Structure 1
Amino acid sequence: MTTINPIETRPLKPLFLSYLFPAMIGMLLMSVNILVDGIFVSHGVGPTALAGVNIAVPIFSILLSISLWVGMGGATLFSISLGEGNKVRAHQLFTLSFLTMLAVVVTLIMVLLFNLKDIAYIFGASDATYPYVKEYLHVILLFGVFYTIENLLSIFIRNDGNPKLAMLGLMTTSIINIILNYLFIFVLGYGVTGCALATAISTILGMSVLCLHFFRDQCELKFVSKFFNWSDLKKVFAIGLPSFIVEASMAIMIILYNITFLHYLGANGVTAYAMVNYIHTVLLTIFLGIGMALQPLVSYHHGARLMKRLIVLLKIGIATALIFGLSTTVVATLFPSQLIALFGDSTFEIRNMAVQGFAHFAIGYVFLGINMVFAEFFQSIEKIRLATAIMLLRSIILFIPSLVLLPKLFGAQAIWWTFPVSEGITAFLIFLYIKKKRKKFLLN
């Protein structure tokens, strides 16, 4: 007798919301860890240390991008397999994804540790900031494998029908990180090293919470001995590529922004951007959370061939992205000084530069949500070229020319317009594509 999964019959709006809020809160809390690091370092160590940690963030992001690449690729295939009723393949895909990610991350960490100074200077470090970059990254890299395991497990646990536990694990990490940051920086005076230790310890504890999922009766995350398949490995990397591009391109964008601000506005410009970037990192993960909520549902429905419900899910995702995008832009443009005030220890010139810049920068959030939803949707139904094209357009193809040309044509202040211009053009191109293909794009 075949049992019908409740996902196939439950009304889509409440179903989506049951995934949306845990996913958004979980992703928000993950980014809050980075924001908390910035706030505590800014107030407890100083603006130069803040700039150093901001330079280190892209290197840290590379590890996250690997876990997203393998995690999202494997989890998408995992959910499709469950939708098809093939639990054996689902178990194989989880095992393959977990062990593949470990192998890649451990190798990458070794390379980074042995070439830390050269890599830091390539990423924009100076003689003033490098000591802080080294201090922060040395600890982060040593414990980086736990961070990537936590991220991969949260993705798979969400796909295995337990979004609340995925949120709880990330919530544990965030709360403990705040407590330990205060203790290590302000009470014990460990400086940037204390900040990194807080991140490492809180991540291990959050990962431990996620492991509770393995004791659940309905758990389909099972390790099996026969799991390796070249075809599946290629599919994992292919389907996860757009997620990798999101995070890896974020690292590239930060590096290019740092170089551009340093060229046009000097060290003060880099510090002002660091303030804006910490806030942007938090806001970006809110929109990633919408995609994270959509992905398990879309992948399952795709595997079960429930096409009408797929179209409804896409419409719900777009509407949600528009609401959050417009709301975020309005709040960020009306209250930029209040947001920048979180980083209080800076000169008036730096703070004013950040406030004015963020008011322009924030217009991009109107388009960001739409772009992320469409990319996640195409990725979840195995249309990898479309998803990859969207991510490359917004982060590389349109971003780099905009970053080079805008300040040359309109002055240094136009650097802040790079984000809204690249996101806006990407959204317009998606609109043209959907208008041309209409409903047929699901079947092409």
Structure 2
Amino acid sequence: MTDFASLGLAEPLLRALEAEGYSTPTPIQAQAIPLVLQGRDLLGIAQTGTGKTAAFALPLLHHLADRKAPAPRGGFRALILSPTRELASQIHDNIRSYGRFLGLTSTVVFGGVGAKPQIRDLARGVDILVATPGRLLDHVQHGAARMQGVEVLVLDEADQMLDRGFWPAIRKLTGLMSKNRQTLFFSATMPAEIAKIANEMLKDPARVSVTPVASTAERVEQKLIHIDASQKRVLLTEMLRDLPIGRALVFARTKHGADRVVKHLNTEGINAHAIHGDRSQGQRERALSEFRTGRAPILVATDIASRGIDVDGVTHVFQFDLPDTPEAYVHRIGRTARAGASGEAIAFCAPDEVAKLKAVEKLIAMRIPAEDRRSDAGRAEAASVVPKAKPKPRGRRPMGAPGGAPRNGAPRGPMPTGGNGDGPRRRPMAAR
């Protein structure tokens, strides 16, 4: 059986892993770490909760410790870009834990907090910077950060960076770096747009894929409840009281929806907090702290929390609203059944969400076990919103009939790719 020592990691890293209680690498770690230690660019694909952070953090720390060099003033030797503040903080915490015996320096930079402490840290220079792209670009444009000293670049959750519109900022940042750097992409999914960008940015990359893109965590018991939208909050309250809940994540589609759910639960005597983009950094950190400690064991979130929040003991994930993109369903339920534990994922489906449900089931290639708690009116509404299949035309369509060439005789061109016709179709605003 593979252990961390057999991967070629430095002794101080092995000591830190032992202190953390880690003995056996996960598949993504076992496959990726030796390749990164060889200096290869890497494209790593693994579902959430499989240990991607250690897969890039451990060989990165090994590299920096092995090639001792001073951190450049106003710069950093390694850069890890993350799509959210929460994920950036989590990665930084892991970096400090794994590298506790190496004497390397690190800091984290993201928006929503004051810039002055970040500027002071950057001015001194650090070995490792963990950052969100937008705030880092602000520092670069104001002369507070220099990109020329980057030896290793890591992009974590690359597909979510695309969803959140970070690629213009990332392209500006990478254009300022040395082309001799090592670049690592890690992601839970690999849509065509990201694959194209990876081909442009990576040099002869090794590819590691340990799970199918559409797979859900194996130890998650999935359940679906068809219910009228007006009854969702009542049912959620009942289930939170009746089920053996340790910690539960509840996913709402919108910020206002999350706030309404929290207000209802608090009124019912259930201690819950909301976390979403309109909350200040202080509010988000307090909500996460109380969730981790169990003081408020219910956290209601938008998809800002579907990746990157690694909290032990999440026993249940409730999809109060089904997501606009089916991939988000997979990421959401990946918040439970972590570190060998089991978990339960319960999705509510209102009549107007049936199309979203079908997209999810098509992606994961399974029918989710379901029960029906809809009213008769709700069943009728669901039946009315499901599009009926169009009958197939009989025989071949004659030339010149509708569907052939346009009436002006011009040849049929390619299907438009998006609003401006010059790139991939943009995802819906609600999905970003």
Greater percentage in strand: 2
Give the TM-score taking structure 1 as reference length: 0.25
Give the TM-score taking structure 2 as reference length: 0.25
Higher RCO structure (Cα 8 Å, ≥6 apart) = 1
Greater percentage in helix: 1
Q: Which has the larger radius of gyration?
A: 2
